[in-house]
Amino acid sequence: MAMNDTDESYLLPCGRDVEAVWDRLDEIDAHELECPHCLGARESLRALRAATEEMANDTEQPSHALFGRIMSAVRADMGRGAMLALSDDDTGPVQVSERAIAAVLRFAADSVIGVRARHCEVVARLDVVFVSMRIAVEYGKFNVGVVDVVRDRVTAAASARVGVRVNRLDITVEDLYDL
C-alpha cells in the first residue's frame, strides 16, 4: 500500500510513531522490550537500514559504451572551432585547431607545481599568435618566479608539441586554490 504525503505520522498499534522507533534504533527502552509491535518494527527497520547501507556503498557502473556515446554527442555539438594556419607550402596548407593548441598549453602550465591552468585562449590574427592564460596558484607555494616558469613551459610546448611560435603570452593569476 502506498501512503501519500499528507498522511499523518504512521502510528503503531501501541501508539508509538515509527519515525521515533527509527530514530532510536540503536537504543531500546522498557516499552519496546515488551512490545511485539515495536520489536517487529525495529527488526524490519534494521533490515532496511542494512540494505540501505549496502545500496549506498554500491559502485555499479554504467556500460563502457555510455561514456563514448556522451563524448561523441558532445564533440558533435561542438563543431570544428577556429583553426590556426601554420604554413602553406608546395604541398598545401596546414591548420591546427586553436582549441587543441589551448589544451596542450594548459597541460604545459599544469605541469608546473602549484599551478592549475584555468582559462587558455589561443588566437591567431594574420600570422601573429596571441595566447591569453589565466591560472590558479596554490596558496603558500606561490611566488613571482612561478609565472616565469609557466611562461617558459608554455612557449616550449607551443614550439615542441605544436610547431607554433607564440608572439604574445599574457598570464593572469586569477585565483588561489588550497590543496
- Which one of 14, 28, 73, 156 is in contact with another protein (CB under 8 A)? 73
Contact of 101 with 158, CB cutoff 8 Å: yes
Per CB under 8 A, which of residues 32..51 are in contact with another protein?
Answer: 37, 40-41, 43-45, 47-48, 50-51
Sheet containing 128-138: order of strands: 115-125, 128-138, 168-177
107 binds another protein (CB under 8 A): yes
C-alpha cell at 91: 604541398
User: Does residue 115 bind another protein (CB under 8 A)?
Assistant: no
Does 26 bind another protein (CB under 8 A)? Our answer is no
State how far the alpha carbon of 45 is from the alpha carbons of 9, 31, 38, in Å: 16, 17, 10
Number of residues counted as binding another protein (CB under 8 A) = 81
Question: Would you say 6 or 143 has its CB closer to another protein?
Answer: 6
Applying CB under 8 A, among 14, 25, 94, 156 the residue interacting with another protein is 94
Among 15, 26, 30, 91, binds another protein (CB under 8 A): 91
- Smallest distance, another protein to C-beta of residue 151, A: 19
Q: What is the C-alpha separation between 137 and 104, in angstroms, rounded?
A: 19
| DSSP tag of 95 | E
Span interacting with another protein, options 25-33, 86-94, 123-131, 139-147, rule CB under 8 A:
86-94
Taking residue 102's Cβ as centre, other Cβ atoms within 10 Å add up to 20
Taking CB under 8 A as the rule, does residue 166 contact another protein? no
Using the Cα atoms of residue 136, residue 138, residue 144 and residue 150 in order, give the sign of their dihedral: negative
